[in-house]
Structure 1
Amino acid sequence: MQLNFDRRVADSLPQSWVDRAPAAMRPYLRLARYDRPVGFWLLGLPCWMGLVLARTGSGLGWVDLYYAILFAIGAIAMRGAGCTYNDIVDRDLDAQVGRTADRPLPAGSVSLKQAWIFLLAQCGVGLIVLVQLPLLAIGVGLGSLVLVAAYPFMKRITWWPQAWLGLTFNWGIPVAYTAAAGTFDLAALALYAGAVFWTLGYDTIYAHQDAEDDALVGVKSTARLFGENSQYWVAGFYGVNAILVALAIWFSQATPFVVLPFTLYTAHLFNQVRKLDITDGAQCLALFKSNRTSGLLLVLTFIVGAVA
């Protein structure tokens, strides 16, 4: 089959290193979303949250730096693998949505066979990372495969695919926490549950970019479900997140010094709610991307709890 030349995707960065990469590599880099790096952050940051929360009161050591690097590599590999798998499943739907029609598979710049090979290669990298962890964490990590495999089909069967994404994207919390602490307790559970609501909020914002196209092709989402009431729902999700993260801090018996970074984190979330205009796709994308800052503020909160 003759493949088409590389095509830039609508919501990729205006300019990135992907555009300067060798032409033969670019479709694969776009397939793994290297031109949209915020997803790597949103998958990797929960790992760091779980890792640092597990060290509350005991301090961070060199092994934690090693784990942090492993989780960063794993997040890059598995986010790329997840996006590749998602595009394989959604290739026909993506061709009908304006924002996704230029993705490598619907655009024809990568064949289905090539996409499967690339998917397996990325999973191999993720497996190499996973086996570096303690046995319990390996078992927990393998549990994510069911969530990842089912995710692309959720938008076809439920109005709440963002909830499933929250369960999937934040699975790094139990993996990292069990790797560092050797157990999974109430603090970790509260953080994981809170992170699910965080994802519900930011991915509802993100989904408003596609709400009209999704309605035409029959794709379900919380953006379509909530419609004009989305701002209130996102505020509610972020409010529940703040309560659950506060509980995680309480259960971990962290120092009171965490109050300042935690307050900044919460303020950043509700500033997104204040600015949200669901009719402005560019603004929705910008607010979604700003959750990298939200995640970094929460990691900082737990670092203060670990070292203070």
Structure 2
Amino acid sequence: MCPFRFLIGGANTLILKKNQGHLSESNLLRQLQKFLRFVKIEHTLFSLPLIFSGVFLASKEPPTIVMLVLILTAATGARTAALALNRIIDREIDRRNPRTAVRELPSGRMSLYEALVVLAVGSGLYLGSAAIISPFCLPLSPLPLLIFTVYPYMKRFTALAHFGVGLGLAMAPLGGWFAVQQSFENILPGLLLSLFTLFWVTGFDIIYSTLDELFDRTENLYSFTSRYGRTKALRISALLHIAAFGALALLFIFYIKALAAVPLLMVSGFLLYLEHKKAEDVELAFFKINAMLGFVILGMIVVGVYFP
């Protein structure tokens, strides 16, 4: 038998195994991209600056690297669980909405079982990190998950559902505060930051709801936009953002007091204003401006606390 046949056969086997390896890596990458799209990992740009704002506001000394990593892990787990809950509960509504029908669950690219696994992993990561941070944080940690479980059902019977989103994200700075303080004492600065977050997030969720005005009316879903019309809804959103800036100003006047942070306070007010000037462009108003605003708030607090 010709020895070249063995060489050729061996080469073909190596090529086949190499191709299978590439296919396996490619499939793994596609799966990872699917899960990242499912949980909208880029939306952590809203919550992470708020959480760390709470951390630094509560810290007289810079937190340790270990503490920061634990807080980051808890935040990532909580955000993952919150998005998974929302997608699972709303999957039938999303299937009927042309804007959201392309999402992973309604389109069939992800199974309900896979979504439940994501929810379990995110929840476990969040609760486990909270337990390691401190025994004080663990009993409080289910509260945000409860809020994000209730919120999707609220829009089925009340336009106040926007406040459900705001309240859920308002837990972020409080979570950062409690991770450091581990008590309810002297909590007022943390509450003011949380109040800012409540008004800010509720306001920009109203802007986001303008994308679904017609669908919400057709499906009898409640939002300020579907109940009162786009113009009135945007006015309510503007009032909420004025209230948000008021809470931020109170935090600055009574607790931050750093002249070096004044420009950042002014920039935050300008970004809130710009969000309404650009409300027609929801991609810009909702995603880009809000992401910038979160980091401006974080910068203001870091400058105010550590460079008074």
Query: What is the aligned partner in structure 2 of residue 295 from structure 1?
Result: 294
Query: What is the aligned partner in structure 2 of residue 286 from structure 1?
Result: 284
Query: What is the aligned partner in structure 1 of residue 217 from structure 2?
Result: 215
Query: What is the aligned partner in structure 2 of residue 280 from structure 1?
Result: none
Measured in 2, the distance between the counterparts of 1:183 and 1:169 equals 20
Query: What is the aligned partner in structure 1 of residue 274 from structure 2?
Result: 271
Counterpart check, 1:305 vs 2:307: no
The Cα shift of 1:178 comes to 1.7
Q: CA RMSD in A?
A: 2.0
- Give CA deviations for 1:108-153 in whole Å, capped at 9, x if unaligned: 1222222212211221222222122122223332322321221111
The question of whether the paired residues in 1 share the 8 Å contact of 2:256 and 2:301 is answered with: no
Give 3-state SS (helix, strand or coil) of 1:132's partner.
helix
Amino acid in structure 1 at the alignment position of 2:302: I
Query: What is the aligned partner in structure 2 of residue 134 from structure 1?
Result: 134
Counterpart check, 1:162 vs 2:166: no
Query: What is the aligned partner in structure 2 of residue 254 from structure 1?
Result: 257
Report the CA distance shift for 1:214/1:305 in structure 2 as closer, same or farther (over 3 A).
same
Aligned residues: 278
Report the CA distance shift for 1:200/1:62 in structure 2 as closer, same or farther (over 3 A).
closer
Quick check: which has more Rg, 1 or 2?
2
The question of whether the paired residues in 1 share the 8 Å contact of 2:166 and 2:197 is answered with: yes
Report the CA distance shift for 1:222/1:67 in structure 2 as closer, same or farther (over 3 A).
farther
Q: How does 1:160-239 map to 2 (within 5 A)?
A: 160-184=160-184, 185-226=187-228, 227-239=230-242
Q: Larger % of helix: which? A: 2
Structure 1's unaligned 5+ residue stretches are: 1-18, 278-282
Amino acid in structure 1 at the alignment position of 2:38: L
- Give CA deviations for 1:52-81 in whole Å, capped at 9, x if unaligned: 1113xx3x4242x44333333333222222
Measured in 2, the distance between the counterparts of 1:141 and 1:103 equals 28
The question of whether the paired residues in 2 share the 8 Å contact of 1:44 and 1:71 is answered with: no
Question: What's the TM-score, normalizing by structure 2?
Answer: 0.83
The Cα shift of 1:165 comes to 0.6
RCO comparison, higher one (Cα < 8 Å, 6+): 1
Comparing 114-123 with 248-257, greater Cα deviation is found at 248-257
Measured in 2, the distance between the counterparts of 1:73 and 1:258 equals 29
Measured in 2, the distance between the counterparts of 1:246 and 1:61 equals 24
Measured in 1, the distance between the counterparts of 2:77 and 2:110 equals 19
Measured in 1, the distance between the counterparts of 2:211 and 2:67 equals 35
Report the CA distance shift for 1:62/1:144 in structure 2 as closer, same or farther (over 3 A).
closer
Report the CA distance shift for 1:220/1:117 in structure 2 as closer, same or farther (over 3 A).
same
The Cα shift of 1:101 comes to 0.3
Report the CA distance shift for 1:20/1:270 in structure 2 as closer, same or farther (over 3 A).
farther
The Cα shift of 1:206 comes to 1.2
The question of whether the paired residues in 1 share the 8 Å contact of 2:195 and 2:247 is answered with: yes
Give 3-state SS (helix, strand or coil) of 1:158's partner.
coil
Measured in 1, the distance between the counterparts of 2:268 and 2:28 equals 36
Comparing 133-142 with 85-94, greater Cα deviation is found at 133-142
Query: What is the aligned partner in structure 2 of residue 23 from structure 1?
Result: 30
User: How much identity, in percent, do the aligned residues show?
Assistant: 22
Counterpart check, 1:44 vs 2:42: no
Structure 2's unaligned 5+ residue stretches are: 1-25
Question: What's the TM-score, normalizing by structure 1?
Answer: 0.83
